[in-house]
Every structure is written in C-alpha cells, then in structure tokens.
Chains A and B, each alone.
Chain A
Amino acid sequence: MSPFDAFHLPGLEESDVERWETRPLGRDLALRFPLLHPAGLARLLARMREARARTLSALPVARIARAIDRAAARLADPADPLRVAADVALPAATGLSAPMARHVLDRALLDWREPALHALLADELGDPAVLDDFRPRPARPDTTRHVRAFGPALAFHVFAGNVPGVAVTSIVRSLLVKAATLGKTAADEPALAPLFARALADVCPELADVLAVTYWPGGHEAIEAVALREADAVVVYGGGAAEESLRRRTPPGTPFLAHGPRYSFGLIGREALTADRAPALADDVAHAVALFDQQGCVSPHMVYVEQGGEVSPREFAALIAGALERLEAALPRGSLRPGDAAAIHAARGAAEFRTIAGADVVLHASPGTEWTVAFDADPAFTASCLNRFLWVKPLADLGDVLGLAGPVRAFLQTVAIAAAEDRRRELGAALGRIGAARITTFRAMPWPPPAWHHDGRGPLLELLRWVDLES
C-alpha cells in the first residue's frame, strides 16, 4: 500500500507533530497525515499570519487569480504528477468511479481558471480592485466616497463530504479575499485540497506559506480549539452535530459561515414534454442525477412532471431510466458502503410493495444497485436514498408544488425547471420566496456558475468587511 501525503503544512517541523498516522484509503492506498500538537498548529498559524502580512495582503487580486489559474492548469494536465496523484486518490477516497472522478475534477477546475475567477470577482464586487486599494464608489469622477474591502486575516475552513472540488472552491474564495487559509479536509475527500495547495506553492512561491491543508479526526477539541481561537472567520461545511459543535466552540464575534446539507429537485412543465424534446430532457435529468452519484447538494432527489404533455409523467420516468442505463457505461456509479446498498434495496422493496398493494407505482431498476427510477403517483416530497435513485412524481399543475414543499423548505437549494420562460420566472419567484437559492435548467443543474449565490449568499461578500473613506 503506497502512502499518500494528505497534507500541505508549510514550514512544518517534527516538533509540531504529535504523531504520524496512516489510514487505509480504499484497497490500494493509504492516507498519511501528521496529527498536530495544538502548540504546533498555533506556531503554524502564526507563521501563516506573518506570511500573509508580508506577501498576500500586498498582492494585487489579479495576481492571486493568475496564481490560482496556474495551479489549476497543473491539475488539468493529465501528465502532471499532481494530477496523476489526484486520479488515483480521488476514486479511492470518495467512492466515485475513476471516470466520474476524472470528469468531476476536469469540470470543477474550470471554476479555478482565470475567466471564471474574473467573472466571480466582477459579479460579486463590481470593481475587484476594492480588494487592493480604496476605489471610488459610485464609480463617478465627482464622488467623495471611496471604499475598500478586507477579507479575514486568517480563515479556518472545515470541509465535509466526498464531492471533489468543494473544498478547493472554498479555499479559492478565501485566497481571493487575501485570507491566510487553513483547511481541515473531510475523511471522504482528503486528497484534492492538499494537491491544489502543493500546486499553488509550486507555481507561486509567494503564496506557499499562506495556505495550509491537513486532516485530523473531526471533533478533536484540542486542535480545533487553537484553530477556532486564532481564526478571524470560520467556514464550515456539512451541517449537523459537527457544525453545531464547532459553532458552540467558536469565540463570539468570529464570523461563522455554514453550508449545511441541502435538498434539490426538479420541475418539468407539460410544454417541455413534446415527443421530440423529451428524450434530450431525460438525458439531462439523468446526467444531473448521476453526477457525483447524486451526493451533491445540487443533485435532485426527485422530479415532478406535469400531466397533460405529449409525453406522460409515467413515460418520462421510463425515458430517464433508459438514459441512466446508457450513462452507466460512460460514467459508472461508484462503490457503495454496505448501508447505502441496503438502503437502495429497502427503497426498491418498499416501492414494489406499493405496486403490489395497488398504488400507482412503477419501478425501473438496473439488475444491480446502479440506478433506480421510481415513478410514484403520491405527490408528497420524498427524500431519495441517493446513489442514483430518483423519484418521479406527477402533478396536475406545477404550481401545486408550492403546497407540498413544507417539509423541505428549510433545506431547499437548487430547483431545475424545464418549462416556458414566463412560468419558470413565476415558479422561480414563488420557490425563491420559500427558500430556494437557485433556479436553473437540468443541463446546468450540477454546475452552478462560479459567482452563484451559494445557499443564497455572496461567496466573497460574506467574507468581506468594508471600509469607507470619505473626503
């Protein structure tokens, strides 16, 4: 078993390390990381803070974006050793199939290239140079007010989940606002963030000492106490008890930015269900389900299909099933934990009994557990067991969804709508009112644009503090 160094800790000294740990990652790989001494972490953070003051805080944001772009380019290069390492480590760590992990990484890193970064900065800030200097606002020659934005000096990110790219995107946002950044990786995806950090240190030595990434078992209070005490902002993914515990331990006054688990779904209007358009739409739905093996916060749990189109909801479910079957060849479903496979069998068995009992339920399923489409006439919102298990439910009118959404409101994120544009706007407004953060198409569903309002908030703006200069 070859060890993978799942950390990037600039200036680490052996005395900072309490002990080295190795844990198996899949069958053929082991993860090596230093369990830090709390005092060692404190020293590291002090060095990072000092390096930030020396380099990062004076570096123009355009140069930071350039450096991030160069690091992403290394990960995009199939021959680069860092990319080779990613291609081995990601499937082993995340459970995703190798083709899926490659596909996700290739697409994710487009968001760390210069065009995407410039789009993010411009969209969020208007004038990105507010990160570098006082800038007139409004941008008129006669203005008497100038503004400048400061990010936190030190941001502590706690990652969760197995979706590759989420951690790096969070780090990228943090670096763009010139924060020295400590990332604690998730057990299910400990690979990509350290590889990105290594790439960045290689391409831009000035940034080598402001980004640290490592792993420790979540909830290690002595280590986390140091990080929480030292950080000027805390960014936490994953929600649940881990988030609550971190929130409790974060000093009052330190911004605590949380991204908890989310529920996404889709709506298809009858006008989109023409015989010629439906197959391509079913392909898009299947792709949105299959991507990340449905583990993404943007992955749909279910799709409501309006009755009265040329293609019926029941027929549309069969089209999605066919599309999922075809996708299995190009982007195979990954490996499952025992409980995940059991949950699929359980959900299928329960659906089968509903059919037997006379309910209007039609189950489409692969011979193994690879994919499942369950058509169910009961319109209640349902949570999928995920790993490519989609519920398809008919609605007499798409607007009926608003009366059904109660149970998912608090978790609502992305809603893909295939319908006439005026209906999309109308439904989008109504869904936004009850909590949806993003209305999109099925094709775009898996990949929000870089400047999207992640969970309804500005990804850079929420990290910033503004200073006004009046004259």
Chain B
Amino acid sequence: MLAPDDTLRSELLALFARGVDQPLSDADFNALALRVFAYQFERNAAYAAYCRRRGATPATVVDWRGIPAVPTAAFKEIPLVAGDPAAARAVFRTSGTTRGPERRGAHYVLDLSLYRASLLPTFEAYVLPDGARLPMLSLIPSAADAPDSSLSWMVTALLEALGASGSECFATPGAGLDVGRLSRAVRGFEAAGQPIALLGTSLAFAHWLDELRAHGERFALPPGSRLMDTGGFKGHRREVPSEALRADYRDLLGIPETHVVNEYGMTELLSQYYDAALHDHTRGHARDARRKLGPPWLRAVVADPETLEPLPPGEVGILRHVDLANLDSVLAVQTEDLGREVEGGFLLLGRAAGAAPRGCSIAADLLIQAARAQASGP
C-alpha cells in the first residue's frame, strides 16, 4: 500500500497529465489545496509555526484562500521544505550574488518530476496551442550552465521535450548572450522558411534588438513563429515597456502581437502563468490578450495590500499564488506584484518589489545594486 504522501503526489501528477484545458472545479481545487496544506503543515515545522502564529491549522482552514501565504522574502531566510532540505534534487535561487547585504531566495525542490509535469502542459497550452513543434531558440542559459536557475531548468526541459531539431541555447552565464550566433541561426531558419519559437528574458531580447537596430538588421520570420519573454527589468537600469518591446518584435523580427506570449513565473513556484494572446488567437477569442492564464492547479488571489484579504474583482491589489505543484515546499506564496482580476484571469500590473521610495531616502534595491557593483568591482 502506498504511503499517504505518495497518494497525493500521484494524484497531482495525474491531474497535471490531464492537461490545462480540463477544468478543475472549485470544490476539487479546494479539497486538493487543503490536503496539500495539511501535508506541508505536518512536514514543515517552520511553516507550521508560521501558520500557528496566525491561528491557522488544517483543522481551522476550510477555504484555500485562507491558507497562510509565505512572502517570497521568506525564501531568503530559511529552507521552506516539506521534508529534508538535504534531500533536495535541485536548489533554485533568485537572482543576485551571495555577497553584499542581500540574501538570495532559495527554493528547495525535492521532486523535479512535479516541476516537469506542471510546466510542460502549461507551455503547450499557451505557447503551442496549435500543436506546433518548432525549433526553440533560447536566450536563456541551459540548466547545465546555470544549475541554480529555475528558468534555465524550465527552458532546458522545454527544449528537450517539445523542441524540434535545431533547438539550442544561445547564452551562458559567463559570456552572456551570443548575439552573433543567435542572429545567424535565426537568419538560417528565416531563409529555410522554418517557423521558430524564441524564448528569453525581456532584458535579453531588448539587448538583442538593440544590436539588430545598431546594425540595421531585421528579420521577417515565417508565419507561425512565436516568442515567449519573461521577467521585467527589476534591478536593472534599463526599462523597456512591454508595448515597445512588442512593437520591436513585430518590426524587427516579424512576429505579430498575437504570437508574443509573456510568461509570469517565479523561482518560488513550480507552475507558471502566460499571456492569453496565442491561446485566444488559436481559438478565435478576442479578449484582453495580456490577461494571464495558468493551469487549473495554479490559482491567484488579488489581495488587499494592507489587510492581505482577497479583494473584489476589478480592484488593484497584490498577487498571492496557490500552486499545487509546490507540494514539497509551500503552496501559498505572497508576492509584492500588483495585479487586477479580470474575467477569466488577471492582469499583471507590475512587479512592485523594489518600487522606489516616494521621498529622498534610498531604496533597498539601489543599495543592493551598489553593493553588488562594489563586490564585483576591482
């Protein structure tokens, strides 16, 4: 007979295997979330202590929205694992350096199969909804080169499982993006009339587009080509609004807005959200293309920033995520990202962490950047 944890794990894997378009009822999601909560409460003493301080236990919480959420900042302080951190198969870390006044957040992952099982069908649903199998060109380093990056792990898994031949990574952590090699490869696919999928951070794309502009280069990629970008410009001096980026994707790469999908994920979650753009386009829907959709096992709450209570639809608040794939860590994660619930999803209005102070005192982020520059300087 299976131990109870294995039952829950295999139920979750089975749920993920049904794919993203199989709906999960509120009651079913609630039941699973409460079971995952109880599982974590029992196995994660730190999280249980945090919950007890809020008077929340599996006996008192009846609604998934009431499961105590851990702020992302807490991942910097303590291993949040439902189990033994030493047994982690991977430790994904948030960006930053180990020196300086900041600590990096760490997500201990005991079971990478949950990550893979969650990310593949979600990417398929929102980036490959037409069932296309395309060469995937990544502007993100591979997992072998960046073992502590959850994004690198995800992209490597995507290339292996869903990428057609010619899929490749064009960046390494040390040397950065190999712009020349990427441009040559893209030119080759353009000449062959082969549609491709480009995957990268917004920052890496902005950098590549600058280079293209500087050299007067542009592409007219074959129809069906698409692009997934992710991440903002947090912690970087450079800021490019997403509208401007999408205009550049269209003008310099030949990828229309319908085929540009922004991914919203974080190191602390094993599941991701994506823009509805391509999913809608494939089904002939015309709704807000930039609303974020996720798999049925991932739900968002827009919370009142002051009280952390759920807000009525339409109001701007901070996003809390409840991710059943986070079985081995904590399922409820409170972010500092701003969002607003819309019909059938939510709009991501900005990643609030690191918002500049209103006055003339220094922002924590700036201090961290300065310390980082100092640490890496001569």
B45 (CB) vs chain A CBs: closest residue: A356
B105 (CB) vs chain A CBs: closest residue: A350
- Contact of B353 with A by CB under 8 A: yes
Q: Please determine whether B77 and A339 come into contact, CB atoms closer than 8 angstroms.
A: no
- Contact of A345 with B by CB under 8 A: yes
Assuming the A-B contacts A345-B308, A407-B370, are A294 and B338 also in contact, with contact meaning beta carbons closer than 8 angstroms in the complex? no
Q: Please determine whether A296 and B318 come into contact, CB atoms closer than 8 angstroms.
A: no
List of 5 A-B pairs having minimum Cβ-Cβ separation, nearest first: A295-B359, A339-B352, A383-B364, A349-B71, A341-B305
Bound-complex Cα distance A374 to B366 (A): 21
Of A53-61, A83-91, A234-242, A459-467, the one contacting chain B is A234-242
Which one of B70, B237, B305 has the highest number of Cβ atoms from chain A below 10 Å of its Cβ? B305
A237 (CB) vs chain B CBs: closest residue: B360
B contacts with A: majority SS: mixed
Instruction: List B residues 279-335 near A (Cβ within 8 Å).
Output: 305-308, 316-318, 334-335
Q: Please determine whether B370 and A410 come into contact, CB atoms closer than 8 angstroms.
A: yes
- Contact of A312 with B by CB under 8 A: no
Query: Which residues of the other chain, A, contact B101 by a CB distance below 8 angstroms?
Result: 380-383, 407
Assuming the A-B contacts A241-B237, A338-B338, A339-B336, are A346 and B73 also in contact, with contact meaning beta carbons closer than 8 angstroms in the complex? yes
Bound-complex Cα distance A356 to B307 (A): 22
B85-123 vs A: 1/0 string, CB under 8 Å?
000000000000000110000000000000000000000
Q: Please determine whether B357 and A261 come into contact, CB atoms closer than 8 angstroms.
A: yes
Query: Pick the contact of A336 from B306, B335, B362, B374 — CB < 8 Å?
Result: B306
- Contact of A371 with B by CB under 8 A: no
Q: Please determine whether B362 and A411 come into contact, CB atoms closer than 8 angstroms.
A: yes
Shortest CB-to-CB span from A330 to chain B, Å, is 20
Bound-complex Cα distance A426 to B336 (A): 42
Assuming the A-B contacts A161-B360, A296-B361, A342-B318, are A349 and B70 also in contact, with contact meaning beta carbons closer than 8 angstroms in the complex? yes
Shortest CB-to-CB span from A201 to chain B, Å, is 27
Shortest CB-to-CB span from A364 to chain B, Å, is 14
Which one of B49, B358, B368, B374 has the highest number of Cβ atoms from chain A below 10 Å of its Cβ? B358
Shortest CB-to-CB span from B239 to chain A, Å, is 8
Query: Pick the contact of B49 from A350, A356, A381, A382 — CB < 8 Å?
Result: A356
A-B pairs with beta carbons under 8 A, tally: 157
B330-357 vs A: 1/0 string, CB under 8 Å?
0000111010000000000010110111
Chain A interface size band reads 35 or more
Instruction: List B residues 187-243 near A (Cβ within 8 Å).
Output: 237, 239
- Contact of B72 with A by CB under 8 A: yes
Bound-complex Cα distance A386 to B361 (A): 9
Q: Please determine whether B77 and A353 come into contact, CB atoms closer than 8 angstroms.
A: yes
Query: Which residues of the other chain, A, contact B317 by a CB distance below 8 angstroms?
Result: 338
B306 (CB) vs chain A CBs: closest residue: A341
Q: Please determine whether B359 and A354 come into contact, CB atoms closer than 8 angstroms.
A: no
- Contact of A347 with B by CB under 8 A: yes
A350-361 vs B: 1/0 string, CB under 8 Å?
101110110100
Query: Which residues of the other chain, A, contact B73 by a CB distance below 8 angstroms?
Result: 346-347, 349-350
A301 (CB) vs chain B CBs: closest residue: B361
Shortest CB-to-CB span from B230 to chain A, Å, is 20
A-B CB contact pairs (8 Å), 19 listed? A160-B360, A161-B360, A259-B360, A261-B361, A296-B359, A296-B361, A299-B359, A339-B305, A339-B338, A342-B334, A343-B352, A349-B70, A349-B73, A350-B73, A356-B46, A386-B357, A386-B359, A386-B361, A407-B101
- Contact of A340 with B by CB under 8 A: yes
B359 (CB) vs chain A CBs: closest residue: A295
Query: Which residues of the other chain, B, contact A354 by a CB distance below 8 angstroms?
Result: 77-78
Bound-complex Cα distance A295 to B357 (A): 7
A297 (CB) vs chain B CBs: closest residue: B360
Q: Please determine whether A161 and B71 come into contact, CB atoms closer than 8 angstroms.
A: no
Instruction: List B residues 125-175 near A (Cβ within 8 Å).
Output: none
Query: Which residues of the other chain, A, contact B17 by a CB distance below 8 angstroms?
Result: none
A145-169 vs B: 1/0 string, CB under 8 Å?
0000000000000001111001000
Query: Which residues of the other chain, B, contact A357 by a CB distance below 8 angstroms?
Result: 46, 77-78
Bound-complex Cα distance A397 to B208 (A): 51
- Contact of B62 with A by CB under 8 A: no
Assuming the A-B contacts A337-B355, A354-B77, are A263 and B362 also in contact, with contact meaning beta carbons closer than 8 angstroms in the complex? yes
Q: Please determine whether B306 and A369 come into contact, CB atoms closer than 8 angstroms.
A: yes
Query: Pick the contact of B374 from A338, A345, A406 — CB < 8 Å?
Result: A406
Q: Please determine whether A240 and B338 come into contact, CB atoms closer than 8 angstroms.
A: no
Q: Please determine whether A346 and B334 come into contact, CB atoms closer than 8 angstroms.
A: yes
Q: Please determine whether A342 and B336 come into contact, CB atoms closer than 8 angstroms.
A: yes
Query: Which residues of the other chain, A, contact B46 by a CB distance below 8 angstroms?
Result: 353, 356-357
Shortest CB-to-CB span from A361 to chain B, Å, is 9
Assuming the A-B contacts A336-B306, A342-B305, are A240 and B70 also in contact, with contact meaning beta carbons closer than 8 angstroms in the complex? no
- Contact of A214 with B by CB under 8 A: no
Q: Please determine whether B363 and A188 come into contact, CB atoms closer than 8 angstroms.
A: no
- Contact of B266 with A by CB under 8 A: no
Shortest CB-to-CB span from B190 to chain A, Å, is 35
A294-317 vs B: 1/0 string, CB under 8 Å?
111101010000000000000000
Q: Please determine whether B76 and A261 come into contact, CB atoms closer than 8 angstroms.
A: no
Shortest CB-to-CB span from A65 to chain B, Å, is 26
- Contact of A254 with B by CB under 8 A: no
Bound-complex Cα distance A340 to B355 (A): 8
Shortest CB-to-CB span from A155 to chain B, Å, is 19
- Contact of B18 with A by CB under 8 A: no
Query: Which residues of the other chain, B, contact A368 by a CB distance below 8 angstroms?
Result: 306-307
B238 (CB) vs chain A CBs: closest residue: A241
Query: Which residues of the other chain, A, contact B367 by a CB distance below 8 angstroms?
Result: 263, 383, 407-408, 411
- Contact of A286 with B by CB under 8 A: no
- Contact of B61 with A by CB under 8 A: no
Shortest CB-to-CB span from B199 to chain A, Å, is 28
Q: Please determine whether A162 and B358 come into contact, CB atoms closer than 8 angstroms.
A: yes
Bound-complex Cα distance A293 to B358 (A): 10
B103 (CB) vs chain A CBs: closest residue: A350
Assuming the A-B contacts A261-B357, A345-B334, are A352 and B363 also in contact, with contact meaning beta carbons closer than 8 angstroms in the complex? no
Q: Please determine whether B359 and A162 come into contact, CB atoms closer than 8 angstroms.
A: yes
Q: Please determine whether B353 and A295 come into contact, CB atoms closer than 8 angstroms.
A: no
Query: Pick the contact of A338 from B53, B74, B316, B358 — CB < 8 Å?
Result: B316
